[in-house]
């Protein structure tokens, strides 16, 4: 074991084998919609060779899996990824080393949903939305996915526009009743946009309330871009782990609003603190830790999409690796001794540890290139698909794309 690695593990209460084992069992889903063209309301820049349909998105995701080994699952979005033969999709995915992960219904792009979907004042529209989710449940069953990941754009723009005690729970109960045994419903919240006065699922508390009212197959999904500025997301994660209702994450990063930038690219310390809470709870035997669905939810408007996804996986692995290096026993002692700065410095020491040699060792032991980005660039894949894929395509269906 190189001294470089040895001294990084020195006195941290974790062995190299323990570190490697933890990294090996960690996996994160990539979003199909992150591989296609996407943009803002101002512009969608077409990327040469950008994936335009599900099989091309899966082929690109397989490249990310090939060089990282950490993301065999791909989340899909309906209707952006609608296909006629889901069994064939499942087969194709497994042929290229992948599986279909969370299925995301889309209740925000249909004209019918101007005043909402599950919360719409018109019962027929609510029924239409419920039927779309049930269609997604059937797709999940066909592709072997155990997760429905639900985000609602529902809300109002003006005071008085609609009753704020709208119709969410009743609709969710109908959806919940349609879930087959073992399938999970992850309830994603967002404090604003596209609604600008009230959002029906605005915060973690409302999602938790709904999950608790619905039943054990429902949990809360934390999208790291969906909180007001200054929100301590690590504390929300700790709270949800304590309740045992942390279903999963949509990882991305932001500076202003729901910017959907590469996770860990703007505020890596925040991401580290989130993983610190997860590792801390895991070290104390918290059962919820083993049931967290890690997913990326980003749009790559100006940067190369596949490389952006590889960098995202590396950033998440890096945050998790640093959280594994916190000396938990010493931290607990400092906390219970009221040693404020002593405790803080233990987290700081782990965060400031360069874990790249450890992650390189982990990848080499898996028979992979220690540098996934370099390995991908050297593959010539981007140049090949830019030649092979028709120029005009590329739309992911992502808003504005
Ligand atoms: C909403 C959201 C949701 C998705 C969409 C692509 O902002 O985070 O998770 O459906 O982005
Ligand atoms: Mn999301």
Per-residue tens of pLDDT for the chain, all 401 residues: 566 666 667 667 788 899 999 999 999 999 999 999 999 989 999 999 999 999 999 999 999 999 999 999 999 999 999 999 999 999 999 999 999 999 999 999 999 999 999 999 999 999 999 999 999 999 999 999 999 999 999 999 999 999 888 799 999 999 999 999 999 999 999 999 999 999 999 999 999 999 999 999 999 999 999 999 999 999 999 999 999 999 999 999 999 999 999 999 999 999 999 999 999 999 999 999 999 999 999 999 999 999 999 999 999 999 999 999 999 999 999 999 999 999 999 999 999 999 999 999 999 999 999 999 999 999 999 999 999 998 755 555 555 55
Ligand 2 centroid from CA 250, angstroms: 5
Structure token digits, residue 336: 């219970």
CA dihedral 96, 99, 105, 109 (to 10 degrees): -20
Structure token digits, residue 102: 């969370």
- Alpha-carbon distance of 6 to 104, in angstroms, equals 43
Backbone angles phi, psi at 261, to 5 degrees: -85, 175
pLDDT at position 390, please?
Answer: 82
Q: Residue for token digits 């084998």?
A: 17
Q: How far is CA 89 from CA 29, 93, 140, 354, 392, in A?
A: 17, 6, 12, 40, 24
Say if CB 101 and CB 295 are below 8 A apart: yes
- Pocket around ligand 1 at a 6 A CB cut-off: 33, 104, 151, 188, 190, 223, 250, 258, 297
pLDDT at position 34, please?
Answer: 98
Q: Which long-range contacts (CB under 8 A, 24 or more apart) does 18-22 make?
A: 18/324, 19/321, 19/324, 19/325, 19/358, 19/362, 20/361, 20/362, 20/365, 22/320, 22/324
CA dihedral 303, 305, 306, 308 (to 10 degrees): 50
- Look at ligand 1, atom 7, and give the residue with the nearest C-alpha: 258
DSSP 3-state of 66? helix
Ligand nearest to the CA of 251: 2
Ligand 2 centroid from CA 258, angstroms: 9
Beta bridge partners of 74: 30, 100
Q: How far is CA 346 from CA 279, 332, 359, in A?
A: 14, 10, 21
Contacts of residue 33, defined as CB under 8 A and 6 or more positions apart, other chains included, come to: 57, 77, 80, 299, 396, 397, 398
Q: How far is CA 344 from CA 331, 339, 349, in A?
A: 8, 9, 9
Ligand nearest to the CA of 104: 1
- Alpha-carbon distance of 99 to 58, in angstroms, equals 9
Q: How far is CA 23 from the centre of its chain?
A: 17
- Look at ligand 1, atom 11, and give the residue with the nearest C-alpha: 297
Say if CB 396 and CB 35 are below 8 A apart: yes
Ligand 1 centroid from CA 223, angstroms: 8
Pairing of strands 155-156, 184-188: unpaired
Residue from 147, 250, 301, 396 whose mutation best tests the ligand 1 pocket (most atoms within 8 A of CB): 250
- Alpha-carbon distance of 364 to 375, in angstroms, equals 12
97 backbone φψ class: left, alpha, beta (φ>0; ψ -120 to 50):
left
- Alpha-carbon distance of 143 to 65, in angstroms, equals 19
- Alpha-carbon distance of 331 to 322, in angstroms, equals 14
- Alpha-carbon distance of 276 to 324, in angstroms, equals 8
Ligand nearest to the CA of 152: 1
CA proximity to 130, closest of 175, 89, 92: 175
Closest ligand 1 atom to 104 CA: 10
Residue from 102, 257, 297 whose mutation best tests the ligand 1 pocket (most atoms within 8 A of CB): 297
Ligand 2 centroid from CA 297, angstroms: 5
- Look at ligand 1, atom 10, and give the residue with the nearest C-alpha: 151
- Alpha-carbon distance of 205 to 13, in angstroms, equals 35
- Alpha-carbon distance of 319 to 364, in angstroms, equals 19
Ligand nearest to the CA of 250: 2
Pairing of strands 155-156, 30-31: unpaired
DSSP 3-state of 221? strand
């Amino acid at each position: 074991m190189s001294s470089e690695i040895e001294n990084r593990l020195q006195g941290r209460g974790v062995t190299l084998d323990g570190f490697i084992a933890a990294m090996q069992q960690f996996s994160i889903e990539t979003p199909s919609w992150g591989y296609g063209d996407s943009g803002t309301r101002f512009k969608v820049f077409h990327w040469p060779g950008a994936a335009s349909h599900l099989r091309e998105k899966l082929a690109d995701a397989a490249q990310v899996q090939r060089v990282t080994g950490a993301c065999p699952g791909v989340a899909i979005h309906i209707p952006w990824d609608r296909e006629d033969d889901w069994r064939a999709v499942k087969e194709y995915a497994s042929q290229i080393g992948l599986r279909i992960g969370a299925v995301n219904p889309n209740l925000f792009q249909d004209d019918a949903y101007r005043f909402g979907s599950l919360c719409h004042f018109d019962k027929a529209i609510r029924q239409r939305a419920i039927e779309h989710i049930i269609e997604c449940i059937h797709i999940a069953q066909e592709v072997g996915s155990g997760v429905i990941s639900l985000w609602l754009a529902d809300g109002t723009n003006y005071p008085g526009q609609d009753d704020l005690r709208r119709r969410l729970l009743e609709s969710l109960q109908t959806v919940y009743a349609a879930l087959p045994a073992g399938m999970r419903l992850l309830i994603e919240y967002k404090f604003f946009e596209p609604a600008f006065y009230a959002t029906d699922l605005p915060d973690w508390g409302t999602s938790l309330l709904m999950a608790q009212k619905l039943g054990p197959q429902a949990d809360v999904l934390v999208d790291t871009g969906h909180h007001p500025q200054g929100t301590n997301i690590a504390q929300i994660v700790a709270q949800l782990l304590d309740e045992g209702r942390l279903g999963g994450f949509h990882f991305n990063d932001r500076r202003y609003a729901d910017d959907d930038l590469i996770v860990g690219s703007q505020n890596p310390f925040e991401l580290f603190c989130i993983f610190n809470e997860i590792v801390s709870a895991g070290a104390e035997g918290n059962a919820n830790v083993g049931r967290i669905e890690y997913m990326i939810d980003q749009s790559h408007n100006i940067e190369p999409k596949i490389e952006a996804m590889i960098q995202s996986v590396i950033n998440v692995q890096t945050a998790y690796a640093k959280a594994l290096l916190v000396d938990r026993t010493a931290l607990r002692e400092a906390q219970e001794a009221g040693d404020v700065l002593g405790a803080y410095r233990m987290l700081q020491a782990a965060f400031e540890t360069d874990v790249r040699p450890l992650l390189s060792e982990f990848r080499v032991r898996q028979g992979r290139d220690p540098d996934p980005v370099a390995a991908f660039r050297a593959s010539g894949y981007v140049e090949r698909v830019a030649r092979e894929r028709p120029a005009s395509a590329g739309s992911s269906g992502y808003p504005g794309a």
